[in-house]
A and B are shown apart, each in its own frame.
Chain A
Amino acid sequence: MTKKQQRIYAIILVVTGIAVAAALTLFALRDNVTFFYTPSDIIGANAKNIVKDRPFRLGGLVMYGTVEQDGKRLRFIVTDNMEDIAVEYEGVVPALFREGQGVVAAGTLDESGLFRATTLMAKHDENYMPPEVAKALKEKGAPHGRVPEEYP
Chain B
Amino acid sequence: MSNALFALANPARFRKVGMPLLWVSSAASAALFAWGLWLALLASPADYLQQEAVRIMYIHVPAAWMALGTYSSLAFAALSFLIWRHTLAGLYIRAMAPVGAAFTAICLITGSIWGQPTWGTWWVWDARLTSVLVLFFLYAGIIALADAFENRERGLKAAAWLSLIGMVNLPVIKFSVDWWNTLHQPPSVSSFARMVEPAVDKSMLTPLLAMAGAYLFLFIALAVLRLESEIMSRRIESARMRRNHG
Contact = CB atoms under 8 A, between A and B. Distances in A.
A130 B45 contact: yes
A23 B197 CA distance: 31
A126 B50 contact: no
Contacts of A47: none
A19 to B, nearest CB: 5
Give chain A's interface residue range (CB within 8 Å of chain B).
35 or more
Interface in A1-33: 4, 7-8, 11, 14-15, 18-19, 22, 26, 30, 33
A14 B183 CA distance: 33
Given A22-B172, A98-B49, A128-B47, A35 B201 contact: no
A124 B119 contact: yes
**Interface SS majority for chain B:** loop
B183 A123 contact: yes
Contacts of B83: 4, 7-8, 11
Contacts of A131: 45-48
Given A4-B84, A18-B168, A121 B121 contact: yes
Contacts of B180: 30, 33-35
Contact of A133 (B48, B82, B172): B48
A125 B169 CA distance: 24
B127 interface: yes
B191 to A, nearest CB: 9
B48 A129 contact: yes
Contacts of B22: none
B120 A133 contact: no
Contact of B165 (A18, A35, A95): A18
Contacts of B227: none
Give chain B's interface residue range (CB within 8 Å of chain A).
35 or more
A122 B118 CA distance: 7
A96 B50 CA distance: 7
Contacts of B79: 11
Contacts of A123: 119, 183, 185
Contacts of B54: 128
A138 to B, nearest CB: 10
A34 B181 contact: yes
Contacts of B236: none
A38 B181 contact: yes
10 contacts: A4-B83, A15-B165, A35-B124, A94-B120, A96-B119, A104-B183, A120-B120, A130-B204, A131-B45, A134-B48
Interface of B: 45-50, 54, 57, 79, 82-84, 117-121, 124-127, 161, 164-165, 167-169, 172, 180-183, 185-188, 194, 197, 199-201, 203-204
